[in-house]
Amino acid sequence: MKIIKRNGAEAVFDNEKIFAAVSKANEAVGEADRISEKDIKRITEKVTKKCDKLSRAVSVEEVQDMVEREIMATGAFTLAKTYITYRYTRELVRKSNTTDDKIISLIECNNEEVKQENSNKNPTVNSVQRDYMAGEVSKDITRRILLTPDIVKAHEEGLIHFHDADYFAQHMHNCDLVNLEDMLQNGTVISGTMIEKPHSFSTACNIATQIIAQVASNQYGGQSISLTHLAPFVKISREKIRRAVISELAEAGVTDEAIITKITEKRLRDEINRGVQCIQYQVVTLLTTNGQAPFITVFMYLGEAKDEETRADLALIIEEVLEQRIKGVKNEAGAWITPAFPKLIYVLEEDNVRPGSKYHYLTELAAKCTAKRMVPDYISEKIMLENKVDKNGEGHCYTCMGCRSFLTPYVDENGKPKYYGRFNQGVVTVNLVDIGLSAGGDMDKFREVFDERMELCHKALRARHERLKGTLSDAAPILWQYGALTRLPKGEPIDKYLYGGYSTLSLGYAGLWECVYALIGKKLTEPEGEELGLEIMRMLNSYTAKWKAEENIDYSLYGTPLESTTYKFAKCLQKRFGIVEGVTDKNYITNSYHVHVTEEIDAFDKLSLEAKFQALSPGGAISYVEVPDMQNNIPAVLGVMEYIYDHIMYAELNTKSDFCQMCGYDGEIIIEKDDDGKLVWECPNCHNRDQSKMNVARRTCGYIGTQYWNQGRTQEIQERVLHL
């Protein structure tokens, strides 16, 4: 059994410390108020049994709460008072300096919460530790100075989650939709060096990777680029190669047009191969200033091309991207594995989704890629045009800014739609499960608590907004001066881009499944549960609409991709409400509106149901279906993809892609319990449990993650059922 210490470190549970603490308090009271050694042993045993029954690591605070209750149960109220006073005094001492202790614990790699906050960060690497150290200092400043006590308290108690507090001290924002077209066509500046318009496709790809790295180092969320912005450089390369081929063949007396075209296209394909390879390998090998590869999404949308020639060239790029991703990248053992980045999004449209359509061959390739490497994810052009309608009444199809964070439709001062160059200011998430349990089944009470939490979220979101106000363009030149977002003069504030819908502020939500079950004992998959769930979604949207109308700030509802927070929320709920069957009996809560991972449901029924909720989550959402190995059943993958096109805006298929470096096993690496009850990853072939000697790829929140997950997320992965 494990215990989580106050600094986040995980240690072996030692009940002798309970006995010693109660004994010390017992010695501090008068003899008439003391209890016997036998009573102290009985208290120790009861608390130990209660902790063991929880089947999870308990916190020191939880243990001390149990001790207090057991002391009072014996009638020793003076002793209980002394114990509580001792706790309070020690808490004051600890609060004088908690940051140093946390930093030391993460450097020694035993901080369970901090070190596994991000599943794509290896906590043993110096650059990651440096980022975490800076993050702890930032969080300390945020708690003590930048946020009001009520927001801090709500965050610590798990009522809300103030995302990315480790970056809040700086004037940084969340996600970006990078205007790669502007930067490539009009030039940019990187680290003080002028980068002019590239003269070939391969050079454009190289510059794109440098832009990606710079952007990632100046914000903390995901970013997206479109392959459409690279497509015009295929034509430039074709013309350049063609001139060279004509010159070379002329020397040999060859002027045959067919031969010239054949050689030109072959060399062009080679250049496209090199350019795409540059993007793939540079992205996975780059380390940004926060100690990880850039959280980059690559968008593949044929309908975005401006003419048929560009569309055909874009198809060449998409084909190469998919071919290379199917192949994968080599790990340190030389085995081909699934990289986490770049994330790929493929748009399903009439020209590619049906058998016999012009570009269906790309869709077949995408299906093979999904079966082998878990990407791409799929956007339905058909459904998105219905869901994303601007004030001119026109629907639009565009990429998210990261794993699921979508901008809302926007029309600029010239009446034209604009998406590239926009961003998200930040996220605050409400714990819906806590509201549901706090109501105790009383819907009037639910609405009362709901209103209180919404105002708290609003206040926290405004803090994010106010933190960005007054930021000068000099803070991140690549973003504000050199085209990634806009081109402001030096020294100019970014304030105008924080209003009017240009950027978004995201109200996140988590645990809709458990919230509904806590209120009425029904699942979202049941008619009554579905009806209540949709009503709660409409309530959430009513608040964002109200705030937007009052403040001219684009608040948008966002289906939060909980990572470490799924564990934190679960622990806070268990501490506040105990174990409630179907609600708090897991070490995780469900992301956004998703059907619970243990629920037996058909893939198509799941997508149809979740489409209703996704339409009410305009700030971002993604649905998924859990599938077995599909490499030998591509027609089934294509069937799911066609269903996505007709029924839901944004969805993905979750497969598995693992490798054991100890024995070369490339099947599914499984989750087992160690002797202390901790969930660990294990190779079923050689029983290797060394995380550094394996490659595990799973989707956790939209992005592909690796094996650096906390216990809550690991349990959630273990309990997933197949939908196909």
Mean pLDDT of 212-221: 92
Residue 129: pLDDT over 70: no
- Reported as type and span, the H/E element at residue 705 is strand 704-705
For residue 340, the Cα-to-chain-centroid distance in whole angstroms is 12
Mean pLDDT of 94-114: 54
- Among residues 553, 426, 405, the alpha carbon closest in space to that of 170 is found at 426
**From the candidates 497, 517, 543, 558, which is the catalytic residue?**
558
Residue 418: pLDDT over 90: yes
Kindly indicate the confidence band of residue 354, based on its pLDDT and cuts at 50, 70 and 90.
Answer: very high
Name which residue leads in pLDDT, 58 or 215.
215
Distance, in Å, from the CA atom of 681 to the CA atom of 55, rounded to the nearest integer, reads: 18
pLDDT tens-digit series, residues 305-330: 999 999 999 999 999 999 999 999 98
Contacts with 225 (C-beta within 8 Å, 6 or more apart), sequence order: 178, 180, 208, 211, 212, 296, 297, 298, 299
**From the candidates 304, 563, 652, 716, which is the catalytic residue?**
563
The question of whether 403 is a catalytic residue gets the answer yes
**From the candidates 405, 438, 503, 587, which is the catalytic residue?**
405
Kindly indicate the confidence band of residue 709, based on its pLDDT and cuts at 50, 70 and 90.
Answer: confident
User: For residue 398, is it left (φ>0), alpha (ψ between -120 and 50) or beta?
Assistant: beta
- Reported as type and span, the H/E element at residue 347 is strand 343-348
**From the candidates 226, 424, 541, 587, which is the catalytic residue?**
424
Task: Tell me the two tokens of residue 630.
Answer: 């599909």
**From the candidates 702, 708, 712, 716, which is the catalytic residue?**
702
Q: Which residue has the tokens 């998210």?
A: 400
**From the candidates 369, 403, 454, 572, which is the catalytic residue?**
403
The question of whether 187 is a catalytic residue gets the answer no
DSSP string, 270-326: HHHHHHHHHHHHHHHH---TTSS---EEEEE-GGG-SSHHHHHHHHHHHHHHHHHHH
DSSP letter at 389? B
- Reported as type and span, the H/E element at residue 139 is helix 126-141
Kindly indicate the confidence band of residue 91, based on its pLDDT and cuts at 50, 70 and 90.
Answer: low
- Among residues 692, 677, 691, 610, the alpha carbon closest in space to that of 650 is found at 610
**From the candidates 7, 118, 119, 174, which is the catalytic residue?**
174
User: For residue 592, is it left (φ>0), alpha (ψ between -120 and 50) or beta?
Assistant: left
Kindly indicate the confidence band of residue 119, based on its pLDDT and cuts at 50, 70 and 90.
Answer: very low
Given a contact cutoff of 8 angstroms between Cβ atoms, the answer to whether 397 and 381 are in contact is yes
DSSP string, 217-264: TT-SS-EEEEGGGTTHHHHHHHHHHHHHHHHHHHHTT---HHHHHHHH
Residue 116: pLDDT over 50: no
Instruction: Indicate the pairing of strand 188-190 with strand 193-195.
Output: antiparallel
**From the candidates 401, 454, 630, 683, which is the catalytic residue?**
401
Residue 115: pLDDT over 50: no
Domain ranges of the chain: 1-96, 176-341
DSSP letter at 175? -
**CA atoms in the 13 A half-sphere facing the CB of 233:** 25
Other beta carbons less than 10 A from residue 599's beta carbon: 15
The question of whether 623 is a catalytic residue gets the answer no
Mean pLDDT of 155-166: 95
The question of whether 174 is a catalytic residue gets the answer yes
Full-model pTM? 0.85
Mean pLDDT of 34-55: 90
Mean pLDDT of 629-648: 96
- Among residues 54, 135, 223, the alpha carbon closest in space to that of 711 is found at 54
Mean pLDDT of the chain: 91
Q: Of the ranges 88-102, 173-187, 449-463, 523-537, which one carries the lowest mean pLDDT score?
A: 88-102
The question of whether 350 is a catalytic residue gets the answer no
**From the candidates 66, 133, 175, 649, which is the catalytic residue?**
175
Kindly indicate the confidence band of residue 87, based on its pLDDT and cuts at 50, 70 and 90.
Answer: confident
Distance, in Å, from the CA atom of 693 to the CA atom of 335, rounded to the nearest integer, reads: 12
Residue 289: pLDDT over 60: no
Q: Show the CA angle centred on residue 353, arms to residues 348 and 357, nearest 5°.
A: 130
- CA 623 → CA 566, 593, 709, distances in Å? 17, 9, 21
- Among residues 390, 393, 392, 376, the alpha carbon closest in space to that of 419 is found at 390
Other beta carbons less than 10 A from residue 457's beta carbon: 27
pLDDT tens-digit series, residues 366-401: 999 999 999 999 999 999 999 999 999 999 999 999
The question of whether 702 is a catalytic residue gets the answer yes
Q: How much is the pLDDT for 601?
A: 97
pLDDT tens-digit series, residues 246-286: 999 999 999 999 999 999 999 999 999 999 999 998 888 87
Q: Of the ranges 77-81, 414-418, 480-484, 509-513, which one carries the lowest mean pLDDT score?
A: 77-81
Q: How much is the pLDDT for 253?
A: 94
